[in-house]
Amino acid sequence: MVDARFFPSAGSLTLAEIAALTGASIAGSAEAGKAFSSVAPLEQAGIGDISFFDNIKYLDAFCQSKAGACFVRPKFVSRAPAGMALLVTEEPYFAFAQTSTKLYPAPAWEPGISPHAHIAPSARIGAGVRVDTGAVIGEDVVIGDGCRVGANTVVDARVELGEGCQIGANCTLSHCILGKRVMLHRGVHIGQDGFGFAPSKQGVIKVPQLGRVLVGNDVEIGSGTCIDRGAGPDTTIGHHTKIDNLVQIGHNVQIGNYVFIAAQTGIAGSSTVGDGAMLGGQVGISGHLAIGAGVKLVAQSGVMHDLAAGGTFGGSPAVPARDWHRQTVALGLIIKKKPDAQ
Amino acid sequence: MVDARFFPSAGSLTLAEIAALTGASIAGSAEAGKAFSSVAPLEQAGIGDISFFDNIKYLDAFCQSKAGACFVRPKFVSRAPAGMALLVTEEPYFAFAQTSTKLYPAPAWEPGISPHAHIAPSARIGAGVRVDTGAVIGEDVVIGDGCRVGANTVVDARVELGEGCQIGANCTLSHCILGKRVMLHRGVHIGQDGFGFAPSKQGVIKVPQLGRVLVGNDVEIGSGTCIDRGAGPDTTIGHHTKIDNLVQIGHNVQIGNYVFIAAQTGIAGSSTVGDGAMLGGQVGISGHLAIGAGVKLVAQSGVMHDLAAGGTFGGSPAVPARDWHRQTVALGLIIKKKPDAQ
Amino acid sequence: MVDARFFPSAGSLTLAEIAALTGASIAGSAEAGKAFSSVAPLEQAGIGDISFFDNIKYLDAFCQSKAGACFVRPKFVSRAPAGMALLVTEEPYFAFAQTSTKLYPAPAWEPGISPHAHIAPSARIGAGVRVDTGAVIGEDVVIGDGCRVGANTVVDARVELGEGCQIGANCTLSHCILGKRVMLHRGVHIGQDGFGFAPSKQGVIKVPQLGRVLVGNDVEIGSGTCIDRGAGPDTTIGHHTKIDNLVQIGHNVQIGNYVFIAAQTGIAGSSTVGDGAMLGGQVGISGHLAIGAGVKLVAQSGVMHDLAAGGTFGGSPAVPARDWHRQTVALGLIIKKKPDAQ
């Protein structure tokens, strides 16, 4: 089902090779030497495809799937349709991702500086770098080995990119230092002024934004996301943190390592988010708050107070998720008791 | 009131011509041969302008309007100011839109490839296509007849555009196939990786995103909107669907035909939205949900369960709109009963 | 602590000069002739830095700060650590901003038209203008004296920029007239079609959007923000209004003077926002509403009715903030009373 125009397969793997790669064990009607070269979701997979079953919502799809092979948890092995080769593991999605990565590695690209890129003479460009058409690289920019800068992206003076960064098309970067293997998707804006204005009886003035954005290693940032530079402290994003599309990160925000932030979430100035936190979509965090390590926030949560490490929270204003669920239930009961309230 | 620098009028229409065009009937102090060449809102219209009255909020503005002619529902004819020619119809806004379109057709543009566009030799460019300055068109891209690609837009390899598409400036497209007459406003991002990471005891890995984005005919997509490509299934947008600005569409999402999605709404991965649904602004839909055909969602709704076709829902978590209104009323009553609760 | 690569200091100021500049009085262990050339936040400041203390949350940081000098309110003077020179004022943040602006003025830039910019012959470019690489300036555009247009920004035909505007990289502008000293950060989209479709029994048609966007003087607009042009009336932004990142402003919206709008807020079509209003982040305002002057909206508020001038509102649907707090408290009490509700 994979469109080979966009995603050419790198070859094929036998079930035995897949088992070795992923640690899965082979079960069902499986010949260890049988080879597969493509993957597909349960509903669309055919006899030549590898699929996975990891979310109970798709049990019916699993039972009816025509996939030739499928990663599955041990407890669902008995539900598999006849004829499906099973790759049994406690982590079907992870194993599927490993296999997909092997069959469809990220497409290779040729290094080289486009003759239509605009690179300041003082910029230092590493080995094996690609800079695409229309990209603009400012004075004293440092681009590490193996980086790729997309078309029409603008990198302002003195920005530094660690080795192996991939910057999408139409991004803008200023006042920032990126670690290694950072991936920015298209249209990301990093380093612009934070929203800082000082009110007074004499009027309002703009506050100079004198910090930077520091991004750790192996960070991924989604399309349209904006990360403002610090006002004085730096705005920081920790290692391995993954940020989805259209997210807003205000000035001075400090985000830890291994944090996941879903789309359209906003974090106001000077708040901190601890390691391993997981923020759902459209979450809002007010300014100057401390979100503890490992906190989970339900989508659309509105955080107005510090949150203790490890908790799960929901609602706006956000409360412990258990209380939020109870509130939801209680509101449902109230209107049943008062059918003529309106 | 229309600024002729930006919107030159294409000519004029008599009331009789307008009546024929729209099906409205002429009433009030109207001479069928009187010609109009411009339109304006009620408050700003003068004797030479055509206006419309379609929202009861603007009844005062209608009664005091100086518009020379006005589309109006039959029941409001008696409220019209003296001297106003009336164009009576049950669909004043639609009739006004028809008339506006006739008087102010979309501006013509000259076909032609800018000498400052960058087009891969293998790209197939149809007849009557315009590609503006700084646009970058990748290998094997197919651009249908009559398309326009805006300045500094980046179209990656093998993307296909059906005939008559209009792509705004500073967009990015990859891994997508667009139908006919698709309009992308500026800064739209289509086809980037979905937000897919597989957790494991061994750490987290990125899941290859091996699907595409398929966009139907006559779709319009607003500025800054991001549509991620599928992880395995395709992300699909049905025919005639209209999407506003800064909307986020996650991987594998399937949106039906004639769906309207207002600004800043987000739809998480693998959810489906049925034909004719109408989503207000800042709505959030969690992943793996099924939103039935014709569902209406109040602005800022947060959807966490499947929603049955045809219903109207509001609140976060979203409930039937009637219950949501009752909850709002009940909350208002609770705090009246307990003035010292705080 | 300021990174001099990005923000070179313009020199130094003595305490006496700072006092004269800001109106602060000198106290603590201060020599009026002592000079400072850098600023830093409380936690990071050293003996050579000026800092400020303005938010009670940071009292501990103030008490432990190693800053050489600090702006502080009179009532906290007694809490200052030994050896810190104090600059006493009722407006510490404002005074700090004044001082920062003096020490770190906005970086100078050279006027000049990049040989790689694309400027229509009929465009009128003022004196002292800079147009960066890849920018595209359309026919009959007017750019006032002292403007700067960033790289790869696209300015469509007949747009007008007042003197001293600063337009960031990768913006798009059409159908708009900007006042003086307007600052657009990167990736701002102004003037695209509003989201206007007229339904009918015969189907849906696009409504021509025949208005403009008018932006007042001294307005600042954040990255990724979208401002649609009017449908018939103009969309207007008043003087001195400041808009953060990823904000959506619908067609016909009228925003007054000195309005502050935080990130990811959305204002639907035809609503008005009075002078001096302050909108928190992720606020949503429905269409055709009137928000009075000086209204304050808590983050994530959802406004569905007109709001009287001067009030503070919160919640979705938004109610007076006092009621919203009470509702929050009442909900907390309900679930305590019914521990087994779920």
Average pLDDT (C212-232) is: 98
Beta bridge partners of A149: A131, A167
Number of residues that make up chain C: 342
In the three-class reduction of DSSP (H, G, I as helix; E, B as strand; rest coil), residue A272 is classed as: strand
Transcribe C88-125 into DSSP letters.
E-S-HHHHHHHHHHHHSPPPP---EE-TT-EE-TT-EE
pLDDT at residue C30 in the model: 76
C323/B332 touch (CB, cutoff 8 Å), yes or no:
yes
Q: Given this model, what pLDDT does residue A337 score?
A: 66
Q: Do C232 and B40 make contact, defined as CB atoms within 8 angstroms?
A: yes
Can you give the pLDDT at residue A134?
Answer: 98
Indicate the pLDDT class of residue A73, thresholds 50, 70 and 90. Answer: very high
Q: How confident is the model at residue C341 (pLDDT cuts 50, 70, 90)?
A: very low
**In this model, does residue C314 exceed pLDDT 70?**
yes
Instruction: Flag whether pLDDT at B244 surpasses 80.
Output: yes
Instruction: Give the pLDDT score at B28.
Output: 73
More confident position, B129 or A106: B129
Residues B63-71 have a mean pLDDT of 96
Percent of chain C with pLDDT over 90: 90
d(Cα B195, Cα B215) in Å, to the nearest integer?
20
pLDDT of residue A339: 47
pTM of the model: 0.96
**Alpha carbons B32 and B40: distance in angstroms, whole number:** 20
For chain A, how many residues are written? 342
Q: Which of B190, B186, B122, B128 is closest to B155 using CA atoms? A: B190
Residue type at position C234: D
Cis omega (within 30 of 0) on the bond before B8? no
Query: CA-based diameter of chain A, in Å?
Result: 80
pLDDT category, B119, cuts 50, 70, 90? very high
Please, are residues A13 and A103 in contact by the beta-carbon 8 Å criterion?
yes
pLDDT for A71 beyond 80: yes
Residue positions counted in chain B:
342
Between helices C15-22 and C92-103, what is the axis angle to 10°? Answer: 120
ipTM value, please give it. 0.96
Q: To 10 degrees, what angle do helices B92-103 and B15-22 make?
A: 120
Q: Dump pLDDT digits (tens) for B87-116.
A: 999 999 999 999 999 999 998 899 999 999
Across the interface, of B222, B282, B335, the residue whose CB is closest to C195 is B222
pLDDT of residue A201: 85
Give me the residues of B, 251-290, that contact C with CB < 8 A.
Answer: 258, 260, 262-264, 281-282
Does the CB of A299 have a partner CB in chain B at under 8 Å?
yes
Q: What percent of chain C has pLDDT over 70?
A: 98
In DSSP terms, A273 is beta-bridged to A255, A291
Phi-psi region of C275 (alpha: psi -120 to 50; beta: other; left: phi over 0): beta
Among A77-91, B211-225, B247-261, C18-32, where is mean pLDDT lowest? C18-32
Which residues on A lie below 8 Å from C222 (Cβ)? 192, 195, 226
Interval B317-330 mean pLDDT: 94
Q: Work out the percent of chain B whose per-residue pLDDT is above 90.
A: 90
Of A140, A78, A149, nearest to A113 (Cα)?
Answer: A149
Domains in chain B, ordered, with CATH? 13-103 (3.40.1390.10), 174-323 (2.160.10.10)
Residue C62 region by backbone torsions, left for phi larger than 0, else alpha for psi between -120 and 50, else beta: alpha
Is residue C254 predicted with pLDDT exceeding 90? yes
Query: How many Å apart are CA C46 and CA C36, to the nearest integer?
Result: 11
User: pLDDT-derived band of residue A302, with 50, 70 and 90 as boundaries?
Assistant: very high
| Of A152-166, A321-335, C318-332, highest mean pLDDT | A152-166
Residue C342 confidence class, pLDDT cut points 50, 70, 90: very low
Is A175's Cβ below 8 Å from some Cβ in C? Answer: yes
Spatial CB neighbours of A72, under 8 Å, sequence gap ≥ 6: A52, A53, A62, A80, A86, A87, A88, A89, A92
B244 CB contacts (<8 Å, ≥6 apart)?
B222, B225, B261, B262, B263, B264, B265, B281, C195, C248
Among residues C24, C64, C26, C72, which one has the least CA distance to residue C45?
C64
pLDDT in tens, B37-66: 999 999 999 999 999 999 999 999 999 999
Picking from A192, A232, A268, the nearest residue to C281 by CB comes out as A268
CB atoms within 10 A of CB C152: 32
Task: Go through B281-293 and write b for each residue having 16 or more CB atoms within 10 A of its CB, e for each that does not.
Answer: bbbbbbbebbbbb
**pLDDT computed for residue C201 by the predictor:** 85
**Average pLDDT rounded to a whole number, residues A3-24:** 95
Residue B337 pLDDT exceeds 70 = no
Cβ neighbours of B152 in C, within 8 Å: 134, 136, 152, 154, 170
In this prediction, residue B96 carries a pLDDT of: 97
What residues of chain A lie within 8 A of the CB of C184, using their CB?
Answer: none
Whether B71 has a pLDDT exceeding 70, the answer reads yes
Q: Does the pLDDT value for residue B286 go beyond 70?
A: yes
pLDDT exceeds 90 at position A200: no
Q: Where is B17: in which H helix or E strand? A: helix B15-22
Q: For A101-146, what is each residue's pLDDT tens digit?
A: 999 999 889 999 999 999 999 999 999 999 999 999 999 999 999 9
Q: Indicate whether B324 pLDDT > 60.
A: yes
pLDDT, tens digit, 9 for 90 and up, residues C112-163: 999 999 999 999 999 999 999 999 999 999 999 999 999 999 999 999 999 9
Q: Which of B214, B226, B264, B286 to mutate to test the interface with A (most CBs of A within 10 A)?
A: B226
Q: A163 is written with which tokens?
A: 């080795």
Q: Cβ-count burial of B324 within 10 angstroms (0-12 exposed, 13-18 middle, 19+ buried)?
A: buried
Which chains lie within 8 Å of chain C at 3 or more CB pairs, if any?
A, B
Stretch A202-229: mean pLDDT, rounded?
96
Do C138 and C123 form a contact (C-beta atoms < 8 A)? yes
Is 80 exceeded by the pLDDT of residue C1? no
pLDDT of A185 strictly over 50: yes
